[in-house]
Structure formats: C-alpha cells, structure tokens
Amino acid sequence: MIQDPRAPSLRFARLVAGTTLSVGMLLAGTGVAAAQSDPASSESGSIGSPSVSLETQTNGQDLDTEAEAIDLTIGDTAAFSYVVTNTGDLDLGQVNVWDDELGAVCVVDAMAPGAVHVCQATKTVTLGLWSARGSVSGQPVDSAGHPFPDTTGLPGSVTGQDNSFHVGVGLPAIDIEKDVNGFDADTEDEAATLTIGDAITWSYVVTNTGALPLDMVTITDDELGPVCVLEGLLAPGEQHTCTMTGVTQQGLHGMTGSVSAIPAEGSNAVFDSDPSWYRASEATTTTQPTTTTTQPTTTSTTSLEVLGTTVVSVSPQVLAHTGRATTGLGLTGGFLLAAGFGLIAAVRHRFGLD
C-alpha cells in the first residue's frame, strides 16, 4: 500500500502520543485548513458575546457634545439619567455606574440580556460650561451568577461610556427695602406720622434676588451715611437686615437707603435703592368737655296743729332758720301773725262761734 504523502505519518503520531496538540498542529503540512477558534468558545461550544451600553441624559436630553449643550439657570437643579442596557447575550453581574465629576452613581446586582436599568443623580447648576463623562462596567456571569473562568477567553468585564454637557447661565441682582418704625413709607403721601422727639428706627432689608453669590454688600443712607457692610457672601435668595436709630425732627423728612454688591463670579457690580418718609409734629392736647349737673331742690313742709286743727304749714328751712322747735309758739314776724290767726279760727270753730 502506497502511503499518501499528504497524510500524517504513523511514526509522527507515535512521537506525539501523550502530548496535547492543537488541531492546527496535527493538520500542519496536510493542506487541510484549521478552523479559527472563537475566544468566547470552549469544548462545549460557543458561550456568547457579552456587552453593555450607557446613555447619559441631562434633564431628559441627550447632550453628547459641547455644541449640543443647553443653557440652565444658575441655582436650578440639573437632573442626570444614566440608562444602562445589557446589549449582549450573557447575564451581567455587579454592574457599576459612575460619573467622573459626581463620583459613584449606582450598582446593579444583575442584568439579563436586553435588560435596561436607569440610575439618577442631581447637582445644582453653577456658572459656566459643565462637562462630565458617565461610565459603566459589568461582569459576564453564567446562569448561576458565577463569573466565567479566564480559560474561556471572555473579558473580565465589559464597559461603556457617554458624555453630557450643559452651560450654567444667570444674572446677579440685589433688592433693598427700607422702612421707618415698621412703615413702608415709600412716598410723601405714605409718610409715617410721628410726634416730635419720638424714637425712630430705620430698617434696611437686603435680598440677593439674582443667580450669583454676592460679596462686599454695602448699605448706606443719603442722610444718615454708612449703615453696614455684610461679612462674607450673600447667597442667592438669602436676606439680611441692618438698622439705624434716631429721634424725630419737626416737619416732613424723606431719606433714601441704597445697597451695592459685587458678584463673587466676577461680574459687574449691582445696585438698588428705596426711600422712606416721615412727618413729625407737636403732640396734640385734647380738652375734655365739662358737664355741670344741677341737682333738683326738694322742699317739704311741717304742719303745726293746735287743738287738733292744722293752723299753718311751715317748711323745714324756716324752722331751721329760726332754730326753734316746731311748736308754732314763740315764733316771730309773719310766722307768729299767721299762727295767731290760725289759733283764733280754730277756737271759734271749736266752740261753735262761727
């Protein structure tokens, strides 16, 4: 039998007996092409192709480049969504999501092929361009959740990345409200009415109504001079009150409080002002009306009887004036004369002489 020179010799086979050789080695020189091995394959056949993707969104928008960046107001909240998808055909375990600016975002224990998971993060919008990169990594696992051995040729983990851009914009602003003794008297017609010499307090309330922190917040009054300078920064929305005291002066007075501040981010200074008015006059004296009450005079009389007959009626005033007992006898003047006539009439009546 003539041996085919293209077939491996039996002697060669004996030499390599007990040695593990690849199919390629055995077929070397035979002219038969060896099949290329799949790094994700084993003796049991193909395992699969693991992969993962990440989509980062800002306030619901996909802003992957600086050119796509949107404007957000300074001080508002930027909401970031990290949409993770298992785009491979193997389960993934320990899926980690992080942001190069915000740090760790979330961890997903397991994701089946095709599964989608969304993680969230937020931050306060600051001035200028914001650029951040979100990243994800996941480990391929078998049906029991165990990582595949290195001999399979599978990567230890699969990764994905996505960028996000936005620009923080906003303007600085400040407001001042001045009042006098609690009255917001901005005009002459609204002037607080006070009395000369009264104690008076002016209040200056300043508020950061803009989007930037403010420094060197200074309050002055065109009549009273410097009022106060705030220490540190006045944050957006923050409020502070300074006061001045004095004594009211006669007449109408209008005074203006002013405030200035410099934005901490280097923008131009901001200003505001607010007037206050008061009118002071002499205290008003009120005279209470006088009421005179005349008590009614009551006159009573005392009757004198002689022999059972009333002879005259005499008032107590007359009796008091005479200082005598009410007997009717011994009285003087007209009283005596009246008593006499009365006595005669009584006697005549008694003895039937009429």
pLDDT score of 229: 97
Domains defined for the chain, CATH in brackets: 48-169 (2.60.40.1530), 174-281 (2.60.40.10), 302-350 (no CATH)
Contact (Cβ atoms closer than 8 angstroms) between residue 176 and residue 196: no
Cβ 209 vs Cβ 174: under 8 Å? yes
Each residue's pLDDT expressed in tens, for the chain with a length of 354 residues? 444 444 443 333 333 333 333 333 333 444 433 333 333 444 334 678 999 999 999 999 999 999 999 999 888 899 999 999 999 999 999 999 999 999 999 999 999 999 999 999 999 998 889 999 999 999 999 988 898 877 777 778 899 999 999 999 888 999 999 999 999 999 999 999 999 999 999 999 999 999 889 999 999 999 999 999 999 999 999 999 999 999 999 999 999 999 999 998 777 899 999 999 999 998 766 556 655 555 655 554 444 444 444 444 444 444 444 444 444 444 444 544 555 555 556 556 665 655
Question: Quick one: 226 exposed, middle or buried, by C-beta within 10 A (0-12, 13-18, 19+)?
Answer: exposed
Count CB-CB contacts under 10 A for residue 287.
5
Rounded Cα distance between 276 and 64, Å, is 54
126 within 8 A of 132, measured Cβ to Cβ = no
| Half-sphere CA count of 230, side-chain side, radius 13 A | 25
